[in-house]
Structure 1
Amino acid sequence: MHSSEAFTRTESDLLPVLEELRRHEPIFHRPEFASDSAGFEQMMAPDYWEVGASGRRYSRDFILHTLEQNPPVDADAAGWQTSDHQCRRLSPDTYLFTYTLRQGERLTRRATIWRKSPGGWQILYHQGTIVSAEEENVAPSKS
C-alpha cells in the first residue's frame, strides 16, 4: 500500500455523495450546473476562496469577475480527464472532495470543500496543486 492510500479511501456510505460531487467537478467547467454569473454566484458560498495552482489566493469576487471576463471551457469538450476521486465527510453537511485533473500535459491534484444546503451544493473552498513529472506516477488507487 502506498503511504497516500491510507488517506484517500472513501467510506462506502459516502459513495453516493462522491458520485454526486464527481459530476460537479472540475468546478466552473460543468455548464449543466452553472454557465452564467448568477449560476456561479449561487454555486459559491459567500465566503468562498481558493488557492490556485500557482499558489496565489483568490477571493470569491475575483473568481466571479474572472469567470465573467473569460467564460470557462466545458471540461468534456476540452478532453479533460479526472481520476482518483475521493470523498471525506468533514461535518454532517460538509465534504472534502479530491481528485486528479489532466488538462493535456498539465496534471494537477484538486481539493474542493462542498456544503450541502437546502438550495443544493455550494463550494466553500478550492485548491489546485501542480503535480511534477516525478510525482505523476505516485498516486492513490483508483476509485
Structure 2
Amino acid sequence: MLGRAFELPASNKALTFKDAAGIPVWAQSFIAQAVDQGIISGYTDDTFRSSGKVSRVEMTVMLVRALGLPVQSNPVLSFADADKVPAWAAPYIAAAYDAGLVKGTGKNMFNPIAEATRAEVVTLLLSASELQKQ
C-alpha cells in the first residue's frame, strides 16, 4: 500500500533477508522498493518476517521515513504508554505526532505493539497525502 501510495520507483534488486525465500513473489518488488528508499530495513536478525503482522509503531515509522519527516534524537512522547514505545522508534512516533499524523487511541494511549489495522493504514496514508499537498 505504501509503495503504491507514494509511487515509489520500481526495483528489481534481489532481497537479501535471511528469510527472503518465504516472501511471496508478488510482494518482492514492493519490498525491494521500500528497502531501496530506506523505508524498511528488516529486523536486527536480518529477517523480514513476511508472515508477521505489522504493528502500529512499525506502520508509523515506515510512513515517517516515506515522507522524509525530520526526527529529533531525544524526543519526549506525551502518550500515557510512551514507555512501551521502543527507543529506536520514539523519534519517528514523535515526528508523526508533531506532523498531526497520529493521535492516541483513547485515554491518550498509542498502543505501539498492537497490530495495525487496514483502516488505520488507510487513515495514515490519507493524512500523509494531505500533508504532502501543503
Q: TM-score, normalised by structure 1?
A: 0.24
Q: Normalised by the size of structure 2, how large is the TM-score?
A: 0.25
Higher helix share: 2
User: Which structure's residues are more often strand, by fraction?
Assistant: 1
